[in-house]
Amino acid sequence: MPLLDKLRAIVGPAHVLAGIELSPYVIEGRTPEAAVRPGNVDEVAAVIAQAAEAGVPVVPWGGGSAVGVGVPPARAGLVLLLTRLSALVEHEPGDLTATAQAGVTVAALQAALRARGQWLSLDPPDAARATLGGVLAANASGPRRHLYGTARDLLIGVTVVTADGAVVHGGGKVVKNVAGYDLPKLFIGSYGTLGVIVEATVKLRPVPDEERLVAVRFERLEDAGAAVRALLASDLIPNAVDLIDAPSGAALGLPPAPATLAVGFDGLGEQVDWQVAALASVVAPCGGAKPAPLPPALWERLAAAARDAFDAPAAMMTLSVLPGVVADTMEQGAEAARQRGLASAWCAHAGVGHVTATLRAEGERQDAAPIAAVLEDWRAAAHAGGGHASVTWAPLPVKSALPVWDDAGAAGRLMQRIKAQLDPNNVLNPGRFVGGI
Amino acid sequence: MATLTAGRKPVLRRELEALVGADGVLSEPDELLVYESDGLTLFRALADFIVFPTSVEQVSAVVRLANREAIPFVARGAGTGLAGGCLPAEGGLVISLMRMNRVLEVDYDNQIAVVEPGLVNLHLSQAVGPRGFYYAPDPSSQQACTIGGNIATNSGGPHTLKYGVTVNHVLGLEVVLPDGEIVWLGGRTRDALGYDLAGVFVGSEGTFGIATKIVVRILRKPQAVKTVLAVFDRIEQASAAVSAIIARGLVPAAVEMIDQLTIQAVEDAFGCGYPRDAAAALLIELDGLAVAMETQAERIVAACRDAGAREVRTAASEAERQLLWKGRKSAFGAYGRVSPAYMVMDGVIPRTKLPYVLGRVNEIVAAHGLRVGNVFHAGDGNLHPNILYDPRKPGEEARVVDAGAQIMKVCAEVGGSISGEHGIGLEKADFMPFIFTAADLALMQRLKDAFNPRGLCNPGKVFPTRKSCVETGPVAYRPHAIETQGLAQRF
């Protein structure tokens, strides 16, 4: 029996997409052979087992918001849609934990949790579209990671389907657990290359009494960088410290300024009030203006401010550097682009050194060479800042002009050994990740 | 794995001395005895050599030598572990990291420190304290245990309720892999490139290699701290108070529970001001901004009173606060007042299951004709039932071991875990199937094979196997050397 018929037998004919139905699932110009929508974990396992047997690669797909990340695949294979696995399986407020299926969108999950006074303290962009499983697989994060960390600080249990179709659990449902290896850590940020996340258990937090976002404007980026260092060295406990350059600020509708620091606080009302007042005296010596309130609706747009700065981006890069050099990296990066005649937009979760940059496309005909050259400059800047940088989006000609992922060095060989152990036949999202994994 | 012949040992000793110096190798039987167990003296095994490298190059060279000889090796810190995780296989090498104990670098701007694995946990907080910083993970053995050992077990502590366990504070590791290769996993920046290998390495109980440099986050000391003692006439009330605090949207830095038997032992020993007739007490700590600290404390007090607390007291001074914490932190030592020996259990349950599980623990222990004292991290559901017994009474230790296994089963049944911070080691290897399926364990084994394909690095741990050559039957309790020196207690 051909693979498609086997898949139809597993999930029902209505949930196997082919032909024109595949147009939303084209990956970097390649059309998959089919897309399949399993309705439960057993069906996911059966689908993967069949694909593995047929030698067809499997691309797990949540909301599709990170599908442009990584090396273009040699073959798009079978797109495995997880959107039907969208149940909130368990939420016990007294335990501050919840278990949900991978296909639930972040927005839907948060709405259900908030209805009971709690939230998952992870705020990646595109919450209405991004799914829990996808956010974990891509290790996506947002401004509040400054205080609350990333998926590795919140994920306590995970269920995955491995390349051989086995259903495997790691971690558990309790907030503290050292039994066995920490498999949740292994799957976070693994982009579906080691297993398909089908269910996750996360730590929750109570919704704070109050939350406020304020903007501090600076005449120079480097002054804002000094203010970030002063803020980190102060007694204040912000939940977000985002540094935004002029083009990103314009995209967010902020008043024009060479640099804006968006700082968030949460907690009891008096804590928030006191901190906003104290912030003014922390930033003033660095040249910061008086903190001005920002509309709460801006929170969810902060993480993607640089991405959304240009109607026609030419490439995007994410840089991980030491917090102390974020402003310098942004300044140097923008200058490197200018020198090649290109405009760029930058934003950063500055307190944790997570920087995002976008290049603007100039005109109709785009030459990949200068774009790739700027990206190489940015990568060099990240290395100089003690970190690394990877291309998170770019057209195919740019992606073929420089390595999409940074070089993981000796650790990269260890990653390849892990991939070889867990997916020896290269079934899961092959060829897209670090080191050719 | 190979076993060394008597004739081979002197040759190897000379080779090891050439690598780490003549004063860096122990092989006399009386010297080896010191390293035959960790804090769990139930298990013992003798190595052929104890080796004390002072650099990553030496660690790598020793590991390569072990590979050449195909003999097992295990890294060891202070030996305060409670699961037998750093025991040697019968024979082979113990690689002690105690001479690699420096703080290599502190970067206050970026709030990170680079340390060697043999650094004592508390010494890091002492080193950065004058600048207003500290290292958050605070296992109760922090005055003796090492950061490298904390990496192996992913150690917790009272304040992990708010601040997270060891892995939440580790950014990068320089590691000697089991074949001797030196690699960096993660680095100094927050986000790893590729798989989160540093995150996977932490908690691997020494089976993935040996960490030789560790990049950790250091935190600013909070502006204010407030400590509350809530006293209850019934243990269920104390359990309910834990849930009530959480339900009111409060996340204290620590919520510790101390039961009556423990209170009485602590009062006999130290007089910390806990009421002797209380069924249970909660020690609750808030930290953070000075502003609104009173408001938060009022919420805590209200939650405890609503749950039936007969008394709620706030430490009025730093001295009183220290005294309350002394009661908690000295509890294990105080058990010596009421019992010749005890065995500490480590399990985790969902917070809402506390009343039920504490009841079951009491039933199980009573059914074995034993007594139990409970002092534990109630806020995150991490139980530490301490079963008291007399090792001189025949059969009593075997009953303790059996009761412990039953308690672990209960933790598993309510959706919990068989270890919250002590690790699996040898002690709980056979309990792993309580919470993991064969498929789960098979995946873990493949992960191990990627790091440790020859299996020479800390063999026989974590996975259920009865092939271990280690003495596994219950044996009489005796204090470990570091206990008699007063360096550590059993937590």
Give the pLDDT confidence score for residue B246 in this predicted structure: 82
Within-domain flag for A429: no
CB pairs under 8 A between A and B: 258
Q: Do A258 and A202 share a structural domain?
A: no
Contact, B379 vs B454, CB < 8 A?
no
Q: Which of A168, A418, A437 sits opposite B439 (nearest CB)?
A: A168
Contact B420 A139 (CB under 8 A): no
For the segment A339-378, what is each residue's pLDDT rounded down to a tens digit? 999 999 999 999 999 999 999 988 766 799 999 999 999 9
Give mean pLDDT, residues A80-87: 98
Contact A414 B197 (CB under 8 A): yes
Per CB-CB distance under 8 Å, the chain B contacts of A168 are 437, 439-440, 442-443
Nearest CA distance, B96 vs chain A (angstrom) = 23
Give the pLDDT confidence score for residue B466 in this predicted structure: 54
Q: Do A342 and A253 share a structural domain?
A: no
Within-domain flag for A202: yes
Whole-complex ipTM:
0.97
Residue B168 sits at the chain A interface (C-beta within 8 Å):
yes
Residues of chain A with pLDDT > 90, as a percent, come to: 97
Within-domain flag for A127: yes
Residue of B182, B189, B287 to mutate when probing chain A, most A C-beta within 10 A: B189
Number of separate domains in chain A:
3
Give the pLDDT confidence score for residue B483 in this predicted structure: 54
CATH of the domain at A363: 3.30.70.1130
Nearest CA distance, B376 vs chain A (angstrom) = 13
Mean of pLDDT over chain A = 96
Q: Which of B188, B415, B462 sits opposite A386 (nearest CB)?
A: B188
Q: Do A222 and A180 share a structural domain?
A: no
Give the pLDDT confidence score for residue B465 in this predicted structure: 76
The domain boundary, picked from A206, A224, A245, lies at A206
Within-domain flag for A181: yes
Q: CA-CA distance, A279 to A198, in Å (whole number)?
A: 42
Type of residue found at B32? L
Per CB-CB distance under 8 Å, the chain B contacts of A152 are 167-168, 196, 199
Angle separating helix axes A409-422 and B438-451, nearest 10 degrees: 150
Q: Do A258 and A193 share a structural domain?
A: no
At residue B25, does pLDDT exceed 80? Answer: yes
Q: CA-CA distance, B418 to A180, in Å (whole number)?
A: 10
Contact B193 A405 (CB under 8 A): yes
Give mean pLDDT, residues A366-391: 95
Q: Do A298 and A220 share a structural domain?
A: yes
Q: Which of residues 184-223 of A touch B (CB under 8 A)?
A: 185-186, 188-190, 194, 205-209
Give the pLDDT confidence score for residue B472 in this predicted structure: 41
The domain boundary, picked from A206, A222, A246, lies at A206
Q: Do A251 and A164 share a structural domain?
A: no
Q: Do A215 and A151 share a structural domain?
A: no
Give mean pLDDT, residues A321-340: 97
pLDDT band for position B475 (cuts 50, 70, 90): very low
Nearest CA distance, B27 vs chain A (angstrom) = 32
Residue A412 sits at the chain B interface (C-beta within 8 Å):
yes
Q: What is the residue whose two structure tokens read 């991405």?
A: A307
Within-domain flag for A140: yes
Least confidently predicted of A384-388, B16-20, B246-250 = B246-250
Give the pLDDT confidence score for residue B474 in this predicted structure: 40
CA angle A54, A59, A60 (to 5 degrees): 120
At residue B468, does pLDDT exceed 80? Answer: no
Per CB-CB distance under 8 Å, the chain A contacts of B428 are 179
At residue B485, does pLDDT exceed 70? Answer: no
Give the pLDDT confidence score for residue B322 in this predicted structure: 92
Closest CA to A206 of A120, A299, A99, A108: A120
Q: Which of A180, A409, A433 sits opposite B444 (nearest CB)?
A: A180
Domains of chain B with bracketed CATH: 8-98+451-484 (3.30.43.10), 224-332 (3.30.70.2190)
- Terminus-to-terminus CA distance in chain A, angstroms? 30
Q: Which of residues 244-283 of B touch A (CB under 8 A)?
A: 246-251
At residue B325, does pLDDT exceed 80? Answer: yes
Phi and psi angles of residue A329, each rounded to the nearest 5 degrees, phi first: -60, -45
Q: Which of residues 218-247 of B touch A (CB under 8 A)?
A: 220, 223, 243, 246-247
For the segment A213-226, what is each residue's pLDDT rounded down to a tens digit? 999 999 999 999 99
Give the pLDDT confidence score for residue B467 in this predicted structure: 45
Contact A411 B194 (CB under 8 A): yes
Contact, B240 vs B308, CB < 8 A?
yes
Within-domain flag for A163: yes
Instruction: Give Cβ neighbours of residue B210 (< 8 Å, ≥ 6 apart).
Output: B59, B63, B75, B95, B97, B117, B175, B176, B457
Q: What is the dihedral of CA B187, B192, B196, B198, to 10 degrees?
A: 10
The domain boundary, picked from A158, A184, A206, lies at A206
Give mean pLDDT, residues B283-292: 96
Residue B419 sits at the chain A interface (C-beta within 8 Å):
yes
Contact A176 B204 (CB under 8 A): no
Contact B451 A414 (CB under 8 A): yes
Give the pLDDT confidence score for residue B484 in this predicted structure: 53
Q: Do A200 and A94 share a structural domain?
A: yes
Nearest CA distance, B89 vs chain A (angstrom) = 19
Q: Do A269 and A340 share a structural domain?
A: no
Of residues B309 and A364, the one with the higher pLDDT is B309
Nearest CA distance, A95 vs chain B (angstrom) = 5
Q: Which of residues 76-135 of A touch B (CB under 8 A)?
A: 92-97, 117
Per CB-CB distance under 8 Å, the chain A contacts of B440 are 168-170, 180, 183
Which residue is closest to A423 within chain B, CA to CA?
A: B446
Sign of CA dihedral B27, B31, B36, B39: negative
The H-or-E segment that residue A168 falls in is: strand A167-171
CATH of the domain at A127: 3.30.465.10
At residue B481, does pLDDT exceed 70? Answer: no
Closest CA to A263 of A310, A285, A230: A230
Instruction: Give Cβ neighbours of residue B211 (< 8 Å, ≥ 6 apart).
Output: B75, B117, B148, B151, B173, B174, B175, B201
Within-domain flag for A25: no
CATH of the domain at A224: 3.30.70.3450
Contact A174 B381 (CB under 8 A): yes
Q: Do A107 and A173 share a structural domain?
A: yes
Residues of chain B with pLDDT > 70, as a percent, come to: 95
Q: Do A192 and A97 share a structural domain?
A: yes
Q: CA-CA distance, A280 to B330, in Å (whole number)?
A: 44
Q: Do A224 and A194 share a structural domain?
A: no
Residue B445 sits at the chain A interface (C-beta within 8 Å):
no
Residue A155, strand partner residues: A202
Per CB-CB distance under 8 Å, the chain B contacts of A235 are 220, 223, 289
Give mean pLDDT, residues B243-266: 91
Predicted TM-score (pTM) of the model is 0.96
Give the pLDDT confidence score for residue B479 in this predicted structure: 56
At residue A182, does pLDDT exceed 80? Answer: yes
Least confidently predicted of A9-13, A288-292, A413-417, B395-399 = B395-399
Within-domain flag for A48: no
Residue B131 sits at the chain A interface (C-beta within 8 Å):
no
Task: Take residue B414 and report the two structure tokens written for it.
Answer: 């309510």
Residue A139 sits at the chain B interface (C-beta within 8 Å):
yes
Containing domain of residue A107, as a range?
88-206
**H helix intervals, A156-295:** 183-187, 221-232, 246-251, 269-283
